[in-house]
């Protein structure tokens, strides 16, 4: 059954399913096949904003107003949040299954959205058990019939209470799956640079995006004390549907650097973001605008600035 939000939008903490993922807004987490991934709060708000209108185009201004209602930010915040969601969901921007880009208009959620009834049913059962009296105050049926009715009602109440108790015990007894953990061999200044995404309208700047990734790896590897995953290891995860926490554990790093490239006219914009693998939080991000006259020069300048910024950000 398709998920249809009530008037005024669904509850902020109401769980739901989006495609193959189970979304838990209250915990800022998404789960699939037993794997739980943490989602940054603003990115979760953006995902819920799209989920309230599945299939409809949601403009950048609308997303800014709903995901960042209390702060003033640029549209680049939306682009970075969408990039983050796509990577977490394992979505390919060229052949999207979840979030589709509508050039110069906004984004739309193309995956199926459903209510997460599997979680709502036990909660409703427990609530019903709490609200039902253990014995009715009055039964109109006389004699043996009245006694039978009372026994049936009491039996039903006891069954509901037990069912609710078993559910709560199982839910509380099972420890939550760890979202991420720093690999034991990862030093404080260890990082992997993932392949930057080509988010240009025509998606014809992939060579530039790959070159930007290579340049960042080369520049960061020259920083004193910095341990950087090899290009072959980083590019292995290009276009693969793997959570960032798993990538960090596999490569033995404490931080992940990813980003994207976009263009407008003769200007190229490069966005970079640093994620701490231990908790999945973004601890640094920045954007760089450069003219497209000399792409090699642009890559060199931006890589140099990013390397300097990360040296201060990583403690």
Do 95 and 147 belong together in one domain?
A: no
Q: Is the distance from CB of 15 to CB of 25 less than 8 angstroms?
A: yes
pLDDT of 183: 52
In this structure, of 88-97, 136-145, 152-161, 196-205, the range with the lowest mean pLDDT score is 136-145
Q: Which residue would you say has higher pLDDT here, 70 or 222?
A: 222
Q: Is 150 helix (H, G, I), strand (E, B) or coil?
A: helix
Looking from the CA of 236 toward its CB, the CA atoms found within 13 Å total 11
Do 136 and 106 belong together in one domain?
A: no
| 198 pLDDT above the threshold of 90 | no
| 57 pLDDT above the threshold of 80 | yes
Distance CA 310, CA 211 (A): 19
Do 154 and 196 belong together in one domain?
A: no
Name the one residue in this structure whose structure tokens are 């049936």: 152
CA 301: distance to chain centroid?
31
Distance CA 90, CA 59 (A): 23
In this structure, of 16-20, 196-200, 202-206, 217-221, the range with the lowest mean pLDDT score is 202-206
pLDDT of 264: 84
Strand pairing category for 255-264 and 197-198: parallel
Q: Is the distance from CB of 129 to CB of 161 less than 8 angstroms?
A: yes
In a domain, residue 8? The reply is no
Do 124 and 83 belong together in one domain?
A: no
pLDDT of 169: 52
In a domain, residue 185? The reply is no
Q: How many domains does the chain have?
A: 3
Distance CA 273, CA 285 (A): 4
pLDDT of 144: 53
Number of Cβ within 10 Å of residue 248's Cβ equals: 27
| 312 pLDDT above the threshold of 60 | yes
State which residues form the domain around 265.
190-313
| 104 pLDDT above the threshold of 60 | yes
What's the rounded mean pLDDT across residues 184-207? 80
Q: What is the CATH number of the domain that holds 300?
A: 3.40.50.10610
pLDDT of 147: 59
pLDDT of 148: 65
Do 106 and 135 belong together in one domain?
A: no
In a domain, residue 51? The reply is yes
In a domain, residue 179? The reply is no
DSSP code at position 140: -
Strand pairing category for 21-24 and 29-32: antiparallel
Q: What is the CATH number of the domain that holds 69?
A: 1.10.10.10
Do 236 and 132 belong together in one domain?
A: no
Do 194 and 271 belong together in one domain?
A: yes
Do 194 and 308 belong together in one domain?
A: yes
Do 194 and 306 belong together in one domain?
A: yes
| 139 pLDDT above the threshold of 50 | no
**Cβ within 8 Å of residue 38, ≥6 positions away:** 28, 29, 179, 180, 245, 279, 280
> 314 — alpha (psi -120 to 50), left (phi > 0) or beta?
beta
| 21 pLDDT above the threshold of 80 | yes
> Helix H segments across the chain?
41-51, 60-67, 76-89, 117-131, 143-173, 206-221, 231-235, 244-251, 295-313
In a domain, residue 253? The reply is yes
pLDDT of 4: 43
What's the rounded mean pLDDT across residues 138-167? 60
pLDDT of 22: 92
Do 24 and 90 belong together in one domain?
A: yes
In a domain, residue 4? The reply is no
> What is the helix (H) or strand (E) element at residue 21, kind and residue range?
strand 21-24
Do 155 and 215 belong together in one domain?
A: no
Do 106 and 144 belong together in one domain?
A: no
Give the sign of the dihedral formed by CA 111, CA 37, CA 217, CA 250.
negative
In a domain, residue 108? The reply is yes
In a domain, residue 184? The reply is no
Distance CA 183, CA 82 (A): 27
């Amino acid at each position: 059954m398709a998920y249809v939000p009530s008037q005024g939008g669904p509850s902020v903490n109401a769980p739901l399913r989006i495609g193959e993922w189970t979304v838990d807004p209250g915990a800022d987490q998404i789960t699939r096949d037993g794997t739980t991934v943490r989602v940054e709060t603003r990115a979760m708000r953006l995902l819920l904003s799209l989920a309230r209108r599945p299939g409809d185009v949601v403009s950048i201004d609308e997303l800014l107003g709903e995901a960042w209602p209390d702060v003033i930010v640029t549209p680049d915040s939306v682009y970075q949040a969408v990039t983050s969601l796509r990577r977490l969901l394992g979505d390919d921007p060229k052949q999207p299954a979840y979030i589709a880009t509508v050039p110069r208009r906004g984004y739309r959620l193309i995956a199926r959205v459903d209510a997460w009834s599997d979680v709502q049913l036990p909660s409703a059962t427990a609530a019903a058990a709490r609200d039902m009296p253990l014995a009715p105050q009055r039964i109109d049926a006389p004699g043996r019939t009245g006694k039978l009715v009372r026994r049936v009602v009491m039996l039903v109440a006891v069954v509901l209470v037990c069912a609710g108790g078993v559910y709560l015990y199982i839910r509380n007894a099972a420890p939550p799956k760890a979202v991420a953990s720093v690999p034991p061999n990862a030093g404080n200044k260890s990082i992997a640079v993932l392949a930057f995404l080509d988010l240009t309208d025509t998606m014809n700047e992939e060579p530039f995006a790959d070159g930007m990734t290579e340049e960042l790896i080369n520049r960061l590897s020259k920083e004193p004390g910095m341990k950087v995953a090899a290009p072959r290891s980083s590019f292995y995860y290009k276009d693969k549907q793997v959570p960032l926490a798993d990538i960090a554990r596999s490569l033995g790093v404490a931080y992940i650097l990813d980003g994207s490239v976009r263009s407008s006219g003769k200007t190229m914009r490069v966005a970079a973001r640093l994620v701490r693998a231990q908790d999945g939080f973004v601890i640094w991000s920045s954007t760089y605008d450069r003219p497209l006259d000399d792409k090699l020069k642009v890559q060199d300048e931006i890589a140099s600035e990013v390397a300097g910024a990360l040296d201060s950000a990583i403690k």
